[in-house]
A and B are shown apart, each in its own frame.
Chain A
Amino acid sequence: MLLRGFPLVPYLCQIFGNAGDETKGRQMPSHMASRSVNQVSWSSCIGTQLPQAVGAAMAARIKGDRTVIAAYLGDGASSEGDFHVAMNFAGVFKAPVVFICQNNHWAISVPTAKQTASESIAVKAVAYGFPGVKVDGNDAVAVYRAVKEALDRARSGGGPTLVECETYRIGAHSSSDDPTRYRDEQEVEQWKKRDPLELLRSRLQAWGLWTARQEDELRAQVLEEVNGAIAEAEKKPDPARESLFDDVYANQPWSLREQREELLASPPAARAKQSP
């Protein structure tokens, strides 16, 4: 979203869930949505976005737009029924959609080898009648090339592609995860050596497109920008309590109007604490 020009402050307000959040503090951090950059609303329910992406792609084709839909998923998501339904629909309707699978080797504690008996995730596309490609997900240039090719194909009526980007989850899945319980730290150390940012940096430097000085300047500038944005975002209050009842329907029915009055007649509740 930030790449597409979405401003930093409302982005951070979503994470804080405050009144500066376009989605009104309704969702957990990083469940973003903004029409301004064509980012549809995130669900936590794994895989549900995939058939929807195919539908949006079908709609784009029906309406004669050149739009291509990018649909993102993890390796774990490729086990859900919705993934297979989406792949099948995409193939049958030659939908202009690109599935981008970030295979980071883990779905919380479950390694990809226990997620699928296929040799790769990309290979699954073959059975659904369209190309699947696997690229080094830590190589930004390789990812760019593969996705560009897939987008061009979709745009010219060639139908869907599944791009599997192989990478690795260096950190924990979430703040309540403890990867030492289920994986070998040796493996993590190996992957750390292939940090995608390091790879890109050394490449750009080798091509003479990037210097240490430019990097220092950019870092300082971004740090200042981020700190400033955090300070600004933190100033925003919580959404108003009665905003709970907005957006359930376009027109609020009597039941919600009644419940709104009931809420306002009771004392305000203590602020919910940030999850641990």
Chain B
Amino acid sequence: MPAWNIIQAVNDALRIEMRRDPRVVVMGEDVGKFGGVFRATLGLIEEFGADRVIDTPLAEAGIIGAAIGMAMYGLRPVPEIQFSDFIFPAFDQIVNELAKLRYRSGGQYSAPVVIRTPVGGGIKGGHYHSQSPEALFIHTPGLQVICPSNPVDAKGLLISAIRQDDPVIFMEPKRVYRAAKGEVPEGEYTVPIGEAKVVREGRGMTVIAWGAMLHEAQQAVEQAPELDAELIDLRTLWPLDVERLARSVRKTGRCAIVQEAPRTCGFAAEISALIQERCFTSLEAPIARITGWDTPFPYTLENEYLPLAPRILGALRGLKAYEA
């Protein structure tokens, strides 16, 4: 079978789930006839019709609010927010409503809504087509956050997300939407939510990454085999596969976390805290965070902003050289 990219994998997962379960509906701006601005919903309206592939007015609060209502009434909506930078008009619906519905109804209601949204920079999109807002959603109890780095995981994780009963923010790394290719198995399969994957084994240090930056981290560790780095792709950000990470760090004694979002209060800070709580006596160096800067995402200077392979490699060499 031909190698597929992430967009094709997402499209396939949606089609499979829509065929399997009539409750699954797709909705959002331009998802119908146009097939989505990134073409992730291409061909779905032709197969499933306008009741299940819904072109909405331009209003994110409306998209997510309506999706919550549909989910309470028994559907399984998979809304698309065109860019995660535009998720904020729906922030109230997500944080105050979607995330809390199960809890505040004493478990009577749940909102199985899977919000798909492209994240991250590297396409010259400036402030508003580039942000990585995962930490805001991980910080919100009740939400699960997924960010695959490749098409095989994207398809399996999206199917898993649609089949379970709690809300998911499904972040798609748009920088590698087409560039990350893989042999995607035909038909249905699932990748479990909450399991990280060791991409490369090593004993010298643990490098943790996800989404688009996984590829940068991979490039860096492959350029420097002497670091003997173990590279872990989180795949699911929350709930975090913390035991997998801790096992690795107990073995290597050193740990670096690569994150595209700004540093302060980013997810890397939480991962770092969790690891030091579990692996304090194994650590031979401070945990390194290699991140975007604490600035809005820039336009012209985006490659200076992003933690790309050369910057990662420099930081990993520093981590290796550290002596207490």
Give me the interface of A with B, judged by CB distance under 8 Å.
17-18, 25-28, 31, 43-47, 76-77, 79-82, 107-110, 114-116, 176-177, 181-182, 238-239, 241, 243-245, 248, 255-256, 259, 263, 265-275
Contacts and interface: CB of A to CB of B under 8 A. Distances in A.
A27 B55 contact: no
B264 interface: yes
B40 to A, nearest CB: 13
A180 B55 CA distance: 17
Contacts of B88: 45
Contact of A259 (B33, B62, B293, B303): B293
A273 B124 contact: yes
Given A18-B300, A81-B61, A44 B126 contact: yes
The 8 closest A-B pairs by CB, nearest first: A44-B128, A25-B300, A109-B34, A269-B303, A79-B57, A28-B126, A275-B124, A17-B300
Nearest to A238: B300
B126 A26 contact: yes
Contacts of B125: 28, 275
A114 B300 contact: no
A256 B295 contact: yes
A239 B305 CA distance: 13
B314 A110 contact: no
Q: How many of chain B's residues touch chain A, expressed as a range?
A: 35 or more
Interface of A is mostly: loop
14 contacts: A26-B127, A26-B298, A28-B124, A44-B126, A44-B129, A47-B89, A109-B55, A115-B58, A181-B35, A239-B300, A255-B264, A256-B295, A266-B310, A269-B304
B321 interface: no
A79 B123 CA distance: 27
Interface of B is mostly: loop
Given A109-B30, A109-B32, A26 B299 contact: yes
B58 A80 contact: yes
Nearest to B292: A259
A175 to B, nearest CB: 11
A47 B70 CA distance: 26
Contacts of B305: 244
B83 to A, nearest CB: 8
B59 interface: yes
A143 to B, nearest CB: 23
Contacts, number: 137
A266 B311 contact: yes
B155 to A, nearest CB: 23
A108 B34 contact: yes
B137 interface: no
Contacts of A43: 127-128
Given A108-B37, A176-B37, A269-B308, A275 B123 contact: yes
A27 B299 contact: yes
A42 to B, nearest CB: 10
B322 to A, nearest CB: 16
B121 to A, nearest CB: 9
Contacts of A44: 85, 126-129
A248 B294 contact: yes
B223 to A, nearest CB: 13
B86 interface: yes
Contacts of A27: 126-127, 299
B297 to A, nearest CB: 9
A168 B61 CA distance: 27
Contact of B301 (A25, A176, A177, A248): A25
Given A115-B57, A255-B264, A263-B293, A244 B299 contact: no
Contacts of A245: 293, 295
Contact of A114 (B55, B85, B128): B55
A177 B301 CA distance: 26
A25 B55 CA distance: 34
Contacts of A26: 126-127, 296, 298-300
A109 B57 CA distance: 11
Contacts of A241: 301, 304
Report which residue of A76, A80, A116, A274 has the largest number of chain B beta carbons within 10 angstroms of its beta carbon. A80
B302 interface: yes
B52 interface: no
A196 B48 CA distance: 40
B263 interface: yes
A171 B263 CA distance: 41
A116 B59 CA distance: 11
Interface string B1-26: 00000000000000000000000000
A110 B55 CA distance: 7
